[in-house]
């Protein structure tokens, strides 16, 4: 989970008294650039460039602010996510993408100091309202984490756990059905069909991540959140999961946080660029990578800073 | 910089670093050796003293189960007949030259007072024996036993020995005739406490300890685990929670006798529970073990990686489900180990039990939780105080049994840990 680091600037220079060893002109320019960028961003809060709205939205986040104690981690973000759409959240480390992602299924509830304000609705329902049970929400909005974390149970029990606790299967036969379908959709069934009783932790990294995805889709959610799902995997496993995301997007809305712009370009339909807690720009993937509207977006994409 | 390369500087300091490590390692080995030596001395002296108590000297006598001797001139009641007379008769048969009363009394002191009971039990079990003759090995008295084990110095003056010259002659004669046998001292494990060393056993203390431990574990384990789960998972982080944590840590270090005082004041005086009962002892020990179990369980729960909790939450498990389906099963090995360590400590506690009165001389083996009883460490304490020579070796034997139990419990902890430990 990313912590937003306040910008580290050198101490301000007092022109009247002067300093013993004055910072070089290059350093001073760096400070000035940084200051300007921050000003630009604070202008941006709430003024995202591009297409924040989409047609047929499923998740609507409006004026979301997240504070970790004193730290203002997410500043006034408004974003819409449509059904059966893959939206990629990109941005430099610590810019708040994971924090925003976790707001969408109220995972930030488990963090003591986190305070979320604003309005996030799922299919019209405010997910932070008192009448909504987070447990029910998380059955509709699943999440896959950066580091694969299968339960220390058998492969079968890993996938069956969700349906079991939510009561989605009437008997063992139905449960078997759900498990097999989920494993197949996750592209794992062929490899583990004859060893469903082995512990989930005995699989390789890529297989474990696919197991986690199978586990998530076993409860039949409407949205899948993915927090850098491939960052701990090798390129081949990554490619398999990206194919999987492609297939899954036919049935689920997917929000994926990624560090890799190439991955964002490959899998997503829309891209949202975060910077220091603000949503700078949102647009269709093609447009944002070929013709970004904001300077910061352009700098990030072209690699001027990351 | 004096022109030396980094490599040269590192190598120059390398010798000093290796020397330091070698010194540290030597000290470590020395310390371990000293520890092992002390341990070895302890075990050597313990086993040397106590091993003898597992053997008991028996005298083989020709017993005539004669009805006339058992009930001279009266009707025979097998339960209350004069079995000592049978023994005396057999002894006089061995040494017919002994005729006067005083000498005969000296002779009969060679055999333990339990011998009569042994014959009674045999006859009650098989009344067909009446009228027959049989060779029976009866337990010798404690002093004869000590002599056979070489603990009595024969060269001393008659006044300084527990055995007279005549008794020594008789014993030698019995030995020549092959009547002295050394067998396993079953009485140590089947009898309760007794004034007579050859009759004294630890069964009463064992049962007392056993009942107490059952009470202790059935109270402290569920309470301790539940408290740890609540404090770690559900309690909001506040001043109160910190205060409770500090208090629990301190309670684990409180001297155990204080718990005895608490037990005396609350359980015995205020609630009126029976003194000396395993129930009260168990309750006091449960209070003692509770902080230990809470601390061990909390550590085990904290060790469960947060990724498992997050995964479970993400699937839509409620907080209770996360705790009981995922965290507790993973923390269970640590909790069990903590529980067994706590139990081991409770097994060896003496001071709080003394406070609640389990220091009485209890002869009967307790049959339940409210019968008066004593515990193994208390029994050791009582026997250590006894003046009879034979109790010295029995004290060591009881210590060996206690240590055996502790070893078994720790072994159980290791096995449980291995069996239930999971990889994640």
pLDDT in tens, A168-185: 999 999 999 999 999 998
Q: What does the pLDDT look like over B270-319, one tens digit per residue?
A: 998 888 889 999 999 999 999 999 999 999 999 999 999 999 999 999 99
CATH fold label, A82-110+123-301: Rossmann fold (3.40.50)
CA distance linking residue B331 with residue B334, whole number of Å = 6
Residue A243: both structure tokens together:
């194919």
Residue B365 has pLDDT above 90, yes or no: no
Query: How far lies B237's CA from each of B241, B246, B328, in Å?
Result: 6, 14, 20
- pTM equals 0.79
Residues of B in contact with A150 (CB under 8 A): 311
Across chain A, mean pLDDT equals 86
User: CA angle, corner B169, sides to B168 and B175, nearest 5?
Assistant: 90
Which domains does chain B show, CATH number per domain?
A: 59-183 (no CATH), 203-420 (1.10.3720.10)
Using a CB-CB distance cutoff of 8 angstroms, which residues of chain B are in contact with residue A165? 315-317, 321, 325
A221-268 pLDDT, tens digit per residue, is 999 999 999 888 888 888 888 998 999 899 889 999 998 888 999 999
Inter-chain CB proximity B326 and A162 less than 8 Å: no
Q: Check A138 against B321: CB less than 8 A apart.
A: no
Give yes or no for residue B144 having a pLDDT over 50: yes
Residue A7: the pLDDT is: 46
Distance from CA of B315 to the nearest CA of A (A): 6
Of A138, A152, A161, which has the smallest distance from its Cβ to B313's Cβ?
Answer: A138
CB A219 to CB B316 under 8 A? yes
B203, B374 Cβ separation under 8 angstroms: no
pLDDT at A159 over 90: yes
Mutual angle of helices B306-315 and A205-218, in 10-degree steps: 30
> Could you tell me which residues of chain B have a Cβ less than 8 Å from any Cβ in chain A?
237, 307-318, 321, 325-326, 330, 422-424
B307, B316, B318 ranked by CB distance to A149: nearest: B307
Do residues B205 and B374 lie in contact, with contact meaning Cβ atoms separated by under 8 Å? yes
pLDDT score of A41 more than 70: no
pLDDT confidence bin for A45, thresholds 50/70/90: low
Nearest chain B Cα distance for residue A124, angstroms: 20
Judged against a pLDDT cut of 80, whether residue B142 lies above it is answered with yes
E strand or H helix at B168:
helix B165-176
Q: Is the minimum CB–CB distance between A50 and chain B shorter than 8 Å?
A: no
Predicted confidence (pLDDT) at residue A4 exceeds the cutoff of 80: no
CA B303 from chain center: how many Å?
Answer: 34
Residues of chain B found within 8 Å of residue A160, distances taken between Cβ atoms: none
Domain map (residue ranges) of chain A = 82-110+123-301
- A197 secondary structure, DSSP code: T
Condensed to tens digits (0 to 9), the pLDDT of residues B314-348 reads 999 999 999 999 999 999 888 988 898 899 889 98
Q: Which residue of A has its CA nearest to B312?
A: A151
pLDDT tens by residue, A108-148? 988 888 999 999 999 989 999 989 999 999 999 999 999 99
């Amino acid at each position: 989970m990313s912590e937003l680091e306040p910008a580290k600037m050198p101490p301000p220079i007092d022109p009247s008294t002067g300093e013993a060893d004055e910072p070089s002109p290059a350093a001073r320019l760096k400070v000035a650039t940084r200051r300007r960028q921050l000003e630009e961003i604070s202008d941006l809060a709430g003024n995202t460039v591009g297409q924040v709205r989409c047609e047929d939205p499923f998740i609507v986040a409006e004026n979301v602010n997240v504070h970790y104690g004193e730290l203002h981690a997410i500043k006034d973000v408004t974003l819409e996510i449509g059904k059966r759409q893959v939206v990629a959240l990109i941005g430099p480390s610590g810019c708040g993408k994971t924090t925003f992602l976790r707001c969408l299924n109220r995972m930030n509830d488990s963090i003591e100091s986190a305070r979320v304000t604003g309005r996030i609705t799922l299919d019209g329902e405010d997910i932070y309202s008192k009448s909504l049970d987070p447990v029910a929400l998380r059955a509709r909005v699943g999440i896959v984490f950066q580091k694969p974390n299968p339960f220390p149970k058998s492969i079968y029990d890993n996938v069956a756990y969700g349906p079991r606790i939510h009561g989605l299967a009437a008997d063992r036969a139905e449960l078997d059905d759900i498990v097999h379908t989920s494993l197949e959709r996750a592209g794992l069934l062929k490899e583990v069909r004859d060893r469903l009783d082995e512990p989930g932790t005995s699989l390789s990294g890529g297989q474990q991540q696919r197991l986690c995805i199978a586990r998530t889709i076993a409860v039949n959610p409407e949205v899948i959140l993915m927090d850098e799902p491939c960052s701990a995997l090798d390129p081949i496993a990554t490619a398999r999961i990206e194919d999987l995301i492609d297939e899954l997007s036919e049935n689920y809305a997917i929000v994926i946080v990624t560090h890799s712009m190439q991955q964002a370009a490959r899998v997503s339909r829309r891209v949202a660029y975060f910077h220091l807690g603000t949503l700078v720009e949102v647009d269709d993937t093609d447009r944002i990578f070929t013709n970004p509207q904001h300077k910061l977006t352009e700098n990030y994409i072209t690699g001027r800073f990351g | 910089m004096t022109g030396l390369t980094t490599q040269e500087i590192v190598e120059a300091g390398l010798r000093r670093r290796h020397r330091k490590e070698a010194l540290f390692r030597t000290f470590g080995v020395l310390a371990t050796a000293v520890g092992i030596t002390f341990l070895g001395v302890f075990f050597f002296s313990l086993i040397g003293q106590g091993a003898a108590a597992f053997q008991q000297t028996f005298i083989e006598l020709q017993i005539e189960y004669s009805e006339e001797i058992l009930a001279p001139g009266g009707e025979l009641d097998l339960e209350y007949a004069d079995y000592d007379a049978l023994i005396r008769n057999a002894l006089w048969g061995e040494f017919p030259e002994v005729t006067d009363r005083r000498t005969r009394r000296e002779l009969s002191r060679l055999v333990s007072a339990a011998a009569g009971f042994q014959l009674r039990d045999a006859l009650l079990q098989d009344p067909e024996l009446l009228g027959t003759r049989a060779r029976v090995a009866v337990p010798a008295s404690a002093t004869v036993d000590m002599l056979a084990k070489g603990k009595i110095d024969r060269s001393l003056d008659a006044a300084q020995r527990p055995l007279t010259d005549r008794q020594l002659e008789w014993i030698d004669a019995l030995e020549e005739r092959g009547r002295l046998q050394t067998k396993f001292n079953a009485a140590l494990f089947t009898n309760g406490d007794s004034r007579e060393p050859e009759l004294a056993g630890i069964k009463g203390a064992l049962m007392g300890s056993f009942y107490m431990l059952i009470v202790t574990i059935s109270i402290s384990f569920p309470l301790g685990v539940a408290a740890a789960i609540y404090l770690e998972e559900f309690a909001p982080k506040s001043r109160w929670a910190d205060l409770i944590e500090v208090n629990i840590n301190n309670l684990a270090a409180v001297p155990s006798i204080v718990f005895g005082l608490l037990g005396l004041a609350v359980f015995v005086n205020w609630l009126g529970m029976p003194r000396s009962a395993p129930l009260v002892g168990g309750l006091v020990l449960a209070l003692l073990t509770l902080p230990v179990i809470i601390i061990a369980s909390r550590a085990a729960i904290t060790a469960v990686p947060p990724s498992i909790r997050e995964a479970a939450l993400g699937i839509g498990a409620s907080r209770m489900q996360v705790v009981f389906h995922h965290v507790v099963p993973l923390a269970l090995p640590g909790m069990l180990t903590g529980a067994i360590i706590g139990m081991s400590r409770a097994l060896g506690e003496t001071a709080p039990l003394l406070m609640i009165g389990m220091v009485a001389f209890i002869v009967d083996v307790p049959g339940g939780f409210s019968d008066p009883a004593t515990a193994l460490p208390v029994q050791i304490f009582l026997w250590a105080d006894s003046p009879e020579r034979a109790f010295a070796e029995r004290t060591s034997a009881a210590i060996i049994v206690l240590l055996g139990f502790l070893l078994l419990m720790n072994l159980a902890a290791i096995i449980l840990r291995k069996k239930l430990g999971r990889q994640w």
